[in-house]
Amino acid sequence: MASGRSLERSEAHYYGAGPALMPTEVLQQAAYDIINYCGEGVGVGEISHRSKLADDIINNTKKNIADLLSIPDNYEVFFMQGGGTTGFSSVATNLSSNFYKQNGDLGIRAKPYYIVNGTWSLKSFEEAKRLGLDAEVYYNVKQSNGKFDDYKTNSNKQLPKLNKDQVSYLYYCDNETVNGIEFPEPPKVESGINIVCDMSSNFLSKKVDVSKYGLIFAGAQKNVGLAGLTIYIIRKDLISQLNEKIDEEKKIMDKYHLPITPIANHFPTVIKNNSAYNTIPIFTLYILKLVTDKLIAEGGLENQQKLNNYKSEILYGVLDKYPKLFDLPVNTEARSNMNVVFRINGDGLESKFIEEAKNEGFTGLKGHRSVGGCRVSIYNAISKQSVEKLVAFIDKFAASQ
């Protein structure tokens, strides 16, 4: 059936936002290992998720992530099925329960607060509300500016002062994939407030001080792997939960109408079972292991961040060169290194650009359906040479208009 087929491929100039391009050498290794892993006669996708082989993959991937991010000892790394949506849904229930487990009944219902600076942080806030939590918006950039163009408000509105005894967590999305907005650093809040961060589309693209966060999560399929897996990094004191079987704790849950977390997304259960309480997508996790192996071998996040900075600088540079043609909606200081968004002024020029780019081998350039325009996602797997070729094409296209 596979006669004449090869594991070789030319470099793909694909800039889709996710599922995204993967390193060819990772896919080639995985292709062999999905047939026969470690001489077992079965593939890595066929082994038991509770076998020694699977346990080694889980533990080695955890170690790779801990090494790349220099994660402190008081944090736990674990994995669950799903993506970013699973992540923000799980955060809402788990951390709300943990707040009362740590603090008991303070006589007031604690609230999670959300920074809404794009599509995914808005979805996260809406889900917390849907689950019955008294979620509040800390600030909403679009309400202040009329559009998602920054990571902070430009208005003179006084932001609410947060009391750590009344805030279960403060949530934000570090890189808004749809809107092309990225935080240069975590938001500054009062000491004692736990910051939760969705890093789905820029995870392992740069150095991060994990100690500033209570919890970080990331769907793998945008920057470091395939769809179906989410990575979590949580400070250990945030793991424990109220127990609905203990009268005193059940009373707190009933009093404040706390939603019960499904067992498959219950952090203490997942961690206790080393991410294998239910069937972890072990092949997808193995891809993440290979990607992190490659990152380590190539000098870690310091080198990767330098490369990503270079790619974004030359891409923004050519777009800024033609301000009458290209409209970049995001304020300069908030521009994403991962997802470069822009509109092209002129009737029919966006369609022409995308068609001509496709003819030259550049694909995945259409903007998200909710905002239109163009979007170039330049994740880790996109090479320096690929971006340089795209920049040359954009320069040629713009000069001919």
Q: Please indicate whether residue 272 is annotated as part of the active site.
A: no
Among residues 174, 198, 206, 289, which one is catalytic?
198
Q: Please indicate whether residue 198 is annotated as part of the active site.
A: yes
Among residues 123, 152, 206, 222, which one is catalytic?
222
Q: Please indicate whether residue 120 is annotated as part of the active site.
A: yes
SS3 label, residue 229? strand
Among residues 33, 101, 120, 174, which one is catalytic?
120
Strand partners, 216: 197, 233
Question: Catalytic amino acids?
Answer: 120, 198, 222
